[in-house]
A and B are shown apart, each in its own frame.
Chain A
Amino acid sequence: MSDRRIGVYICHCGGNISDYVAVERVREAVEHEEGVVVAKTTMFACSDASQEEMIEDIREQKLDGMVVASCSPTLHLLTFRGVAERAGLNPYRYVQVNLREQCSWAHTDLPQEATEKAVHLVKAGIAKARLSQSLEKIRIETVPRALVVGAGVAGLRAALALSDLGISVFVAEKSERVGGWLGEFGDTYPHGRSGSGLVDELLKDLEQRENVQIYTEAELVSKSGSVGDFTVELRVKGEPITLNVGSIIVATGFTPYQPEEGEYGYGEDGVVTLPEFVRLLEQCDGQLTYQGRPVKQVAYIYCVGSRDQSGERGHPYCSRYCCNAAVHASSLAHELSPEIHQFHLYRDMRTYGKFELLYMNARKQGALFVRFNEEALPEVSRNDGRLHVKVKDMLTAGEELDIEADLVVLVTGMEPRPNETLNDALKLPVGLDGFFKEIHPKLRPVETVIDGVFIAGAAQAPRNSAESAASALAAAAKTAALLKKGYVELEPLVAMVDAEACAWCGECLEACPYSAVSQASRDGKEIAEINTAVCKGCGACVPVCPRDALQVKGYEDQQVRAMIEALGSAR
């Protein structure tokens, strides 16, 4: 007989469960289970009154285990762990059984069978609770310093924000100069301020701060430790430097798409990419000229290297910034030489939000927009010494046009910047598009699966400078939320090694997706060691161990076995 004292609460969920599962019958079926001293049904287990009742029961009945059979743990696991904690019961002695999503909602047409299934699910929960143990959260003291990788607009803005929040910042920039792409630009939209001016402003502010240290020609070569307490090794101008930081923000930016030789005539005299054209505009004084010749007609071809579903001419994604940048460049060109004719050959104008004004401005200045179809891409050729762009204009129902041009501008998109050393060191997940991947684009947009490592700017996805700065601020806020508290608490549901059984074969090291396993010597014996701060308790190491030396706390073999037995037991 078990000497455990378990309380079981079965929730109606206001009918969500009780309309299909006879909750009273479930209660009757489990109230005499081994170790159960309290078995109740409740209309809403999550209600205040119900929570108070549970707290009273835990205290009066001296419960040492609790089961709530209600909804998904995603919704209320933390609620009921909180109930246990408030009543003085270790929260890891609480077990949630999901009767709503996994039973009543799934079997609305079979109430009899649903009730039987509910009985088994609750019995399995009780079996787990009988073997539950008290666990303590893993507490890690955090280091109030952060490393920012990349000194473009995102990196610098993040550094400034962190400095403001009283967190010391190291910035590592791979190249010789800081400022990234924005630092090279003149006029930027929509405010008309110069990119280099904006970067200078940021740098001037950063220079006055004692808690910011910027390294140029610096590369991150390795990272160890865990959230709140990383040790990173940089190579700065060839010299190794070791830093101890609490978090890392990766803002390594993008690289512009480089068309292949011959792609829309690229390589021909007079065919340039958008970044090349923008540079040309900045160099021109008084009149738009290309290699000494005045430019009268400009043809832009959009979506070069972007939105190619076939995968033959670049990337399947939209690079987001290029429509805006191209219409802005068109306005700059018009201001330089108002007499020029500009033809924009586009697939879809994606001048989203307020950038619609840039588009309108370009149209009012006389730029012509010709829509082409993905099926019939424009062709660039050279006849009689002049560049010709042939295109089927969808807005005149497929009229084929032949546009002479002095300059053809290929509106190129963004590519992820290759960062092999960094990728090897950080092991950040990368999406199908090659950019760093966040946990959730809307709900957790700057966090990665590696706790304490955040992403910002165009390293994550194509975006403009303002959007990069905004994401940098989000990453800085997340970093501050992590480090300002002084410590982090992590789930104790992690893998543990049975030092006696382990004979170090390395299978678990191979299986671990989080690099939480390492080899260690203990009493003259080589065994596996788990970094509990890095382990996510996924359990990938457990089945691969040939000696059954690994277990995940809270999901030990005997617990899982007991649950299976309860599920399979006779009615």
Chain B
Amino acid sequence: MIKVDAAFIERVTSDPEFNATACMNCGVCTAVCPMEIELLPRKLFRYAMLGLKDKVLEHTESVYQCLLCKMCEANCGADVHIADNVRCLRGYISKEIFGL
């Protein structure tokens, strides 16, 4: 059982760049990812949106593996700014976890 953390949701989604809420979970992004990062990005965003902080941090490596090539963004059916969203999460992790 994972607790939904509303404060985390607020922290992540308050960034105006973060627009993953429009995601409809179709999975095209995962299918076209050249890095074959299975988790990225739909599951990661879902964890972030649901406020599952621990789950997001568990996948810190994946967040930094992304090439930001925007292949997923070009193919997204819901116009989610995937690369920007990944940057938002990197920003959060860099600041809150690594203290940069």
Contacts and interface: CB of A to CB of B under 8 A. Distances in A.
Nearest to A399: B2
Interface stretch (A218-226, A401-409, A512-520): A401-409
Contacts of A393: 50
A396 B43 contact: yes
Contacts of A395: 25, 46
A296 interface: yes
B25 A368 contact: no
Interface stretch (B3-11, B66-74, B84-92): B3-11
Interface string B72-83: 000000000000
A363 B22 contact: yes
B2 A343 contact: no
Contacts of A368: 21, 49-50
Interface string B1-42: 111101001100100000001101100000000000000000
A364 B50 contact: no
A296 B46 CA distance: 20
Interface in A375-397: 390, 393, 395-396
A366 B13 contact: yes
A366 B49 CA distance: 9
Contacts of B25: 395
A84 interface: no
Contact of A402 (B1, B22, B43, B47): B1
Contacts of A297: 6
A400 interface: yes
A350 to B, nearest CB: 15
Contacts of A341: 6, 9-10
Contacts of B9: 341
Task: Give the interface SS of chain B, mostly helix, strand, loop or mixed.
Answer: helix
Interface of A is mostly: strand
Interface residue tally on A, bucketed by range:
20 to 34
Given A368-B49, A393-B50, A399 B55 contact: yes
Nearest to A395: B25
Contacts of A370: 50
Contact of B6 (A363, A399, A400, A404): A404
Contacts of A402: 1-4
A393 B2 CA distance: 11
A395 B45 CA distance: 11
A399 B55 CA distance: 10
Contacts of B6: 296-297, 341, 404
Nearest to A371: B25
Contacts of A403: 4
A363 B50 CA distance: 13
B63 interface: no
A400 B13 contact: no
B1 A390 contact: yes
Contacts of B2: 399-402
Contact of B4 (A365, A366, A401): A401
A341 to B, nearest CB: 5
B46 A366 contact: no
B5 to A, nearest CB: 9
B57 to A, nearest CB: 15
A540 B65 CA distance: 78
Contacts of A401: 1-4, 50, 52
A402 B52 CA distance: 10
B28 to A, nearest CB: 15
Contacts of B1: 390, 400-402
A111 to B, nearest CB: 57
A364 B9 CA distance: 15
- 6 tightest CB-CB pairs across the interface, nearest first? A403-B4, A400-B1, A402-B3, A402-B1, A366-B21, A395-B25
Interface of A: 296-297, 341, 343, 360, 363-368, 370, 390, 393, 395-396, 399-404
Interface of B: 1-4, 6, 9-10, 13, 21-22, 24-25, 43, 46-47, 49-50, 52, 55
16 contacts: A296-B6, A297-B6, A341-B6, A360-B22, A363-B21, A364-B21, A366-B21, A368-B49, A368-B50, A370-B50, A395-B46, A396-B46, A399-B55, A401-B1, A401-B3, A402-B4
